[in-house]
Structure 1
Amino acid sequence: MALDARAQHLLKQLIEQHIASGVPVGSRQLARDSGLQISAATVRNVLADLEDEGLLMAPHTSAGRVPTRAGYRFFVDSLLQTLPVAPEARRLVLRHIGEHIPDTDEVLHAATEVLSQLTRMAGFVRVPRRATRILRHVDFLALREREVLAIFVTDRGDVENRLIRVEQALDQGQLAQAANYFNATYGGRPLQDILWQLQRDLQDNRDELDRILRNAMELGEEMLDADAERILIEGELQLLDLPDFADNERLRELLQAVRRKRDLVHLLDQSVRGSDVRLFIGEESGYAPLADCSVVAAPYSVDGEVVGVIGVIGPMRMPYHEIIPLVDGTARALGKALSSELPGHP
């Protein structure tokens, strides 16, 4: 899409004004504030052309215009100038995260919380994935009726616990047999390979498996599937304060989507594959409840390996110039904290 310099300037001004005010921007106001020596009529003609290009739209209730999803995408890709993270915000991030080293879960919660606080959006973090880690050992322990504690240890010494609810009660003897079978069959293999194999084995042989084998495989699948989908969410209720979500039905659908963490996994995993900040604007996410939202996400690395992603969910009308560097900076700080490189206090 080729726009001349004047059209780009007016589009940038309009989007920045709309992000700041939340209301449609009219041609008279834009002509006055643009810094160009042009009339409101000329601005109106340019805006009409931008509307024809699908970059702007005119709400029925106003003579002004607002950006479309395509308009925001053009703005972010071609016109946006990001700002360095403010020193005060950077110090807050480092302090908030650094206070919780070396507790991994607390560091993750702190990073998500401070990012949500600074952006006033819903913050999320994809808990470090251990797909490439090798399973060393599994134990299943009976807790209350129909509740099992799964404990697995990886080749790097990571110990993880998962609470699993089962359809029928299993005694400790049955759980020990299941753990022995699971370790003998799947031990020494990457966790993601085990999950894929479990899913295939259960699908192909479910009717032929005896109870011990089926218990072991179903418990293992539950354990690893839960690990693959761990996402922490902080500050989703801050979305209540944004005028963009004044429609209660839209907000309800969004909050439900945020809480259904499984639906976000595929989207966030797309961000893990790269090294840069990723933006999903409106329908780009592929999920209907996020059609009016933007997701800004950045991967974080531990000891040189990308293990997760952190970011925010908010309205398309967000200050990208501030939020993109905040998300990127928080991801870098989080990675250093988990690698034990971040000082406890700045």
Structure 2
Amino acid sequence: MQLGKRKLQILQAVIDDYICSGEPVGSRTIAKKYGMGISPATIRNEMSDLEEMGYLHQPHTSAGRIPSDKAYRLYVDKLMKIRMLTAAEAEYIKKIYEQRTAEIEKVIEQVARILSDITNYTSVVLGPQLNKVLIKRIELIPVDRQYALLLVVTSAGIIKDTIIRIPADVDSGYLNRVSNMLTVHYRNKTFAEVDINSIQDVQKEMTRQKEFFNSLVDALTESIAQKEQTEVYLGGTTNIFNFPEYRDIRKAKAFLSLMEQKDLLYSLLSKFDKKGVTVVIGTENECEQMKECSIVMTTYSIGDKVLGTMGLIGPTRMEYSKAVSVVRYVGETVSKYLTSLFEE
């Protein structure tokens, strides 16, 4: 059985209506509201075919139909029209630029709030993955005559600060020269791209300071060996209860339990690290607790380096056209903001 033009029109009408109302959709509703010029009986026959094809199902014998996950997938891929943001929404998103901070954590907290405020869904933003942040500079700052502070400054802020012992004959000028060489060598690289053994120019500079050089290499190695950050920022966790589907105690408990498992959320969402918007619908989710939810995700980056993931979680009847539009715009805005900070 083929999905002809009329079936597609009816399916789109059912999905649009169900997203708005949350109530099963009948043939008379479609006939009255969508002006297709065909009778309720014809629409009913087409809906029956769509049910047989797996795009609709009937929760009760006397009820109308509701879309399946298969229908939502077709809708997202081929039928929906991306909704334009309103001027007020675009302006609200641009509040990201008001942060005036180089600390990504503060930016991300604001992003989580903005996403949930605009859409009324639950937002999830993952902190930057350590193996994806970019090194901005490396500094050796004298503390006193015996010790210096090693700072590895990245696009996510100061990742590591370590105290190392310095020889008695090393002055601030020498530390500054070494800092500059390290920065030139590693700037714009991720931790994963760093090869400690490649700093031959630094090694030559420190030929007479072999013990100090070894201490420096050990400190840098320790910085690079740190585990990835697993920060997860949530916004509007209780927004899910605005939807009738989650007035069911079982579903509500499952959702709240999932929101508390930040390691699980991080593991699930960090897999989606490609640019662009990704939509995962209901049963497409690997996690059992997510199979009645949909996720709309994108990444944020500095230049062409992806740092992390952000997205919205809602019921499978979420307003995908708005969610995709908002997530895409916020992702682009955050990336531009962080890129401008880093380039400074």
Q: Which residue of 1 aligns with 2:182?
A: none
Whether the aligned pair in 1 keeps the contact of 2:130 and 2:228 (CA below 8 Å) is: no
Identity score, percent: 28
Whether the aligned pair in 2 keeps the contact of 1:300 and 1:307 (CA below 8 Å) is: yes
- State the SS of the aligned residue for 2:124: strand
Q: Which residue of 2 aligns with 1:230?
A: 231
Q: Which residue of 1 aligns with 2:176?
A: none
Q: 1:266 to 1:249 in 2, by over 3 A?
A: same
Q: Which residue of 1 aligns with 2:53?
A: 53
Q: Deviations over 1:111-134 (max 9, x none)?
A: 110110001011111112230457
List gaps (5 residues or longer) in structure 1: 138-150, 163-174, 178-187, 195-215
In the alignment, the residues of structure 1 paired with residue 228 and residue 255 of structure 2 have an alpha-carbon distance, to the nearest angstrom, of 22
Q: Which residue of 2 aligns with 1:185?
A: none
Please tell me the residue identity of whatever aligns with 1:307. Answer: L
Q: Deviations over 1:12-47 (max 9, x none)?
A: 001000000110001111122221121111111100
Question: Which runs of at least 4 in structure 1 moved beyond 6 Å after TM superposition?
Answer: 134-137
In the alignment, the residues of structure 1 paired with residue 156 and residue 296 of structure 2 have an alpha-carbon distance, to the nearest angstrom, of 32
Q: Which residue of 2 aligns with 1:250?
A: 251
In the alignment, the residues of structure 2 paired with residue 253 and residue 176 of structure 1 have an alpha-carbon distance, to the nearest angstrom, of 48
Whether the aligned pair in 1 keeps the contact of 2:283 and 2:291 (CA below 8 Å) is: yes
In the alignment, the residues of structure 1 paired with residue 155 and residue 124 of structure 2 have an alpha-carbon distance, to the nearest angstrom, of 26
In the alignment, the residues of structure 2 paired with residue 76 and residue 338 of structure 1 have an alpha-carbon distance, to the nearest angstrom, of 29
Q: Which residue of 1 aligns with 2:37?
A: 37
Q: Deviations over 1:257-279 (max 9, x none)?
A: 1221221223322321x221000
Q: Deviations over 1:20-76 (max 9, x none)?
A: 011000111112222112111111110011001111110027420000111111111
Whether the aligned pair in 2 keeps the contact of 1:101 and 1:340 (CA below 8 Å) is: no
Q: Deviations over 1:127-186 (max 9, x none)?
A: 12230457979xxxxxxxxxxxxx973577941379xxxxxxxxxxxx999xxxxxxxxx
Q: 1:62 to 1:311 in 2, by over 3 A?
A: farther
Whether the aligned pair in 1 keeps the contact of 2:57 and 2:68 (CA below 8 Å) is: yes
- State the SS of the aligned residue for 1:84: coil
Whether the aligned pair in 1 keeps the contact of 2:130 and 2:227 (CA below 8 Å) is: no
In the alignment, the residues of structure 2 paired with residue 50 and residue 157 of structure 1 have an alpha-carbon distance, to the nearest angstrom, of 49
Whether the aligned pair in 1 keeps the contact of 2:128 and 2:156 (CA below 8 Å) is: no
In the alignment, the residues of structure 2 paired with residue 55 and residue 243 of structure 1 have an alpha-carbon distance, to the nearest angstrom, of 22
Q: Which residue of 2 aligns with 1:282?
A: 282
Q: Which residue of 1 aligns with 2:213?
A: none
- State the SS of the aligned residue for 1:99: helix
Q: 1:286 to 1:45 in 2, by over 3 A?
A: same
Q: Deviations over 1:57-108 (max 9, x none)?
A: 100274200001111111111111111111110000102x122122322111
- How well do the aligned residues superpose, as a CA RMSD in angstroms? 3.2
Q: 1:36 to 1:192 in 2, by over 3 A?
A: same
TM-score by structure 2 length? 0.73
List gaps (5 residues or longer) in structure 2: 140-149, 166-185, 195-217
Q: Which moved more, 1:303-312 or 1:106-115?
A: 303-312
In the alignment, the residues of structure 1 paired with residue 298 and residue 310 of structure 2 have an alpha-carbon distance, to the nearest angstrom, of 6
Q: Which moved more, 1:67-76 or 1:254-263?
A: 254-263
Q: Which residue of 2 aligns with 1:271?
A: 272
Whether the aligned pair in 2 keeps the contact of 1:101 and 1:337 (CA below 8 Å) is: no
User: Quick check: 1:76 aligned with 2:54?
Assistant: no
In the alignment, the residues of structure 1 paired with residue 114 and residue 308 of structure 2 have an alpha-carbon distance, to the nearest angstrom, of 17
Whether the aligned pair in 2 keeps the contact of 1:299 and 1:306 (CA below 8 Å) is: yes
Please tell me the residue identity of whatever aligns with 1:249. Answer: R
In the alignment, the residues of structure 1 paired with residue 18 and residue 112 of structure 2 have an alpha-carbon distance, to the nearest angstrom, of 27
In the alignment, the residues of structure 2 paired with residue 35 and residue 329 of structure 1 have an alpha-carbon distance, to the nearest angstrom, of 33
Q: CA deviation at 1:226?
A: 5.2
In the alignment, the residues of structure 2 paired with residue 56 and residue 155 of structure 1 have an alpha-carbon distance, to the nearest angstrom, of 50
Q: Which moved more, 1:48-57 or 1:257-266?
A: 257-266
Whether the aligned pair in 1 keeps the contact of 2:104 and 2:156 (CA below 8 Å) is: no
Whether the aligned pair in 2 keeps the contact of 1:101 and 1:107 (CA below 8 Å) is: no
TM-score by structure 1 length? 0.73
User: Quick check: 1:101 aligned with 2:100?
Assistant: yes
Q: 1:265 to 1:193 in 2, by over 3 A?
A: farther
In the alignment, the residues of structure 2 paired with residue 286 and residue 32 of structure 1 have an alpha-carbon distance, to the nearest angstrom, of 39
Give the 5 Å matches for 1:1-346.
Answer: 2-60=2-60, 62-95=62-95, 97-102=96-101, 103-132=103-132, 153=152, 158-160=157-159, 191=191, 224-225=226-227, 227=229, 229-272=230-273, 274-340=274-340
Aligned positions, number: 283
In the alignment, the residues of structure 2 paired with residue 239 and residue 309 of structure 1 have an alpha-carbon distance, to the nearest angstrom, of 20
